[in-house]
Structure 1
Amino acid sequence: MKLKLFLLFLFMCKFSYAQDIRVFYKMSYKSDSTTSKLYDKIMILDSNKDYDLFHSYQMYKSDSITEASNKKSFESGEKFMDYDFTVKIDRNKKVIDKFYRILFGNVFKTSENITMLNWKVESAIKQIGNFNCQKATLSYKGREWIAWFTADISLQKGPYVFHGLPGLIIYMADTKHNFEFMFEKLQNNKTILFNEKTATLISKSQLKKLYLDFYYDPFKEAKLSHDGIRIETDTGEVKNPNFRNMTDRVQSDIKRYNNPIELSEIIKFP
């Protein structure tokens, strides 16, 4: 009975893919490419006739809670915001918007034209879960990728910016396994909650400058505070912060956790 229901679900997916859908992916990634430690997060791909939005489930939950409890707060952007790996593919404007947030600062986005991805579909096939999958490879912005897609679900979509294969991407990873995406589930979806009004459009060179400015002086705003800042030690002593030591630690972390999904866009910190 369960198998029949699953096959019926696949049949419905094949012929109703034009409607609004939500695809869940488990994303595993390395913030530090020199270690084996992987971080996991649930990402969702929301798609309608106009655009695809790839964003974190944490952001979706935050949007949902805020929208239900306080619309004014939602519109002002006063909520938890996890913008890592967030992209919007706008088919009407033919652009891809990528979103960034530097620590707890403002939200920015860059925009680039949608381009055809140079997929190479191979003959290799394998079963992943309940899906018959076929292999495809791709070079994209400094990384080599392997994807397994299924024609059982005729959505030419996948995680992040990856789209254009003749079926939904079920699994995808770069060849060094710094980033992996695994399909979890597919749902119908009628509402996409995403507030991009707070995002400032900037160029890639401006984005690089923002990251470098933060690297050189991560406590700039704190040092300009008129109220002053005091730090309480483990012994209860209250003293002025040592911004030089704090900056050294932050800069060390920034260089250590510098492993962007688009490797060709990596910023070389001194």
Structure 2
Amino acid sequence: MKIVIFLSTIFPLFLFSQKSFPVEYEADYKLVYKLKNTQYAPQNETTFALLINKSSSYFKNINKYIGDSLILEKKLKETGNTVKDLANYGKYRTQFPEGIGTTNAKIYYSTEIEGKAFDYEEENNIKWKVVNEYKTILGFKSQKAITKKYGRTWIAWFTEEIPFPFGPYKFNDLPGLIVEVYDDKDDYHYTMYSFRKRKYVCASANIFKNSKTVSKEKIFDYQRNKYQKYLNRFDNFIENKEELEELKKRSMQASKEYNPIELSIN
């Protein structure tokens, strides 16, 4: 029973269908990131797809993109075998389950938390300082820009040779596509590795069905405190007091070391 509950919590993808997104271009990015704020924190890597059309973009982790597409096409579904389902769905797990839609006026964020879908929107009000500094990235002449956002200082490189004002994560509103962006501590570093023309409708790109709209503060607080929220759950599963206390200490330490991409809400 515990394994089944765990499966339904970790892999809620099959519960949701998603709105479609018309794609004209796709830029793919590698993210190198550190989930801990310690001196020798290990680096992790993952990849994302930025789907683009003339008026908007949608940003999504590629693992989740593929997994959601397979679920929508009914090529990935529960078999009733818990071990097999864990393995099958586990291929598409990610630390970044959110989808981020961007228009000129708004940023739309949706994610899943403990088997439920939530979303919020925020003003698209990022302010950049464009610098007279250039370099070549993937053969594109790129210019530097700097901003302070979400508790970090960010350095971006954009190219006017690709005239779309979009970029990875929530970064946008420059005179060309953002091909590289990273914070000044290099905790989160996005680099584009592919750009190509596409022409299709991505049926699994966008917002979760029956997603509950909440304030950004609620999502932000959950993500900042998620390790602490697990502490009380140990009481229901572990009877050995010494083992329980050790797990709680580890969770508290993990909470202190957690290094999310957004350190502040604005």
TM-score between the two structures when normalised by the length of structure 1:
0.71
In the TM superposition, what is the alpha-carbon distance from 1:45 to its structure 2 partner? 0.9
Q: Flag the 1:148–1:212 CA change in 2: closer, same or farther, 3 A.
A: closer
- C-alpha distance in 2 between matches for 1:198 and 1:129: 40
Is the 8 Å Cα contact of residues 226 and 255 (structure 2) preserved in structure 1?
no
2:106 corresponds to which of 82, 95, 117: 95
Query: Residues 28-39 of structure 1 correspond to what in structure 2 (within 5 A)?
Result: 28-36=32-40, 37-39=42-44
3-state SS of 1:58 partner: helix
User: Which residue in the other structure is 2:63 paired with?
Assistant: 58
Aligned to 1:143: 152
Is the 2:228–2:251 Cα contact (8 Å) retained in structure 1?
Answer: no
Secondary structure of 1:117's counterpart equals: coil
Q: 2:180, 2:192 within 8 Å by CA — same for their partners in 1?
A: yes
Check conservation: 2:217, 2:265, Cα contact below 8 A.
Answer: no
Aligned-pair CA distance for 1:49? 5.1
Shift of 1:38: 1.6
Q: How big is the alpha-carbon RMSD for the aligned residues of Structure 1 and Structure 2?
A: 3.3
- 1:157 maps to amino acid: F
Closer/same/farther in 2, CA of residues 32 and 214 from structure 1, 3 Å limit: closer
TM-score, structure 2 normalization: 0.72
Distance 2:229 2:132 in 1: 52
Output the CA distance in 1 between the equivalents of 2:229 and 2:262.
25
Shift of the 215–136 alpha-carbon distance from structure 1 to 2, 3 Å rule, reads: closer
| Number of the residue aligned with 1:196 | 208
Pick 1 or 2: higher relative contact order, CA cutoff 8 A, min separation 6. 2
1:137-167 C-alpha deviation (Å, 9 max, x unpaired): 1111221111111111111111111111111
- Tell me how far apart the structure 2 counterparts of residues 242 and 171 of structure 1 sit (CA, whole Å): 44
**How big is the shift at 1:241?**
8.8
Contact 1:172 1:180 in 2 (8 A): yes
Amino acid at match of 1:200: K
Q: 1:139 to 1:87 in 2, by over 3 A?
A: farther
Q: Structure 1 residue 83: deviation in Å?
A: 6.0
**Alignment partner of 1:22 is 2:23:** no
| C-alpha separation in 1, matches of 2:175 and 2:225 | 43
Specify the alignment match of 1:128 in structure 2. 137
* Contact kept in structure 2, 1:99 and 1:107, CA below 8 Å: no
- Determine if contact 1:230/1:241 at 8 Å carries over to the other structure: no
On the 8 A contact 2:164/2:177 being kept in 1, the answer is: yes
Aligned counterpart, 1:68: 73
Change in Cα spacing, 1:114 to 1:189, as seen in structure 2 (3 Å) is farther
Name the CA shift for 1:211/1:262 in 2 (closer, same or farther; >3 Å): closer
Q: Distance in 2 between matches of 1:116 and 1:265?
A: 13
In the other structure, the counterpart of 2:52 is 47
Rg larger in structure: 1
- Tell me which moved more, 108-117 or 137-146: 108-117
CA distance in 2, matches of 1:149, 1:182: 11
Q: Which amino acid aligns with 2:25?
A: I
- Whether the 8 Å CA contact 2:110–2:119 is kept in 1: the answer is yes
Aligned amino acid, residue 206 of structure 1: K
Whether the aligned pair in 1 keeps the contact of 2:98 and 2:112 (CA below 8 Å) is no
> Structure 1 residue runs of 4+, over 6 Å off?
none
Q: Does 1:114 align with 2:119?
A: no
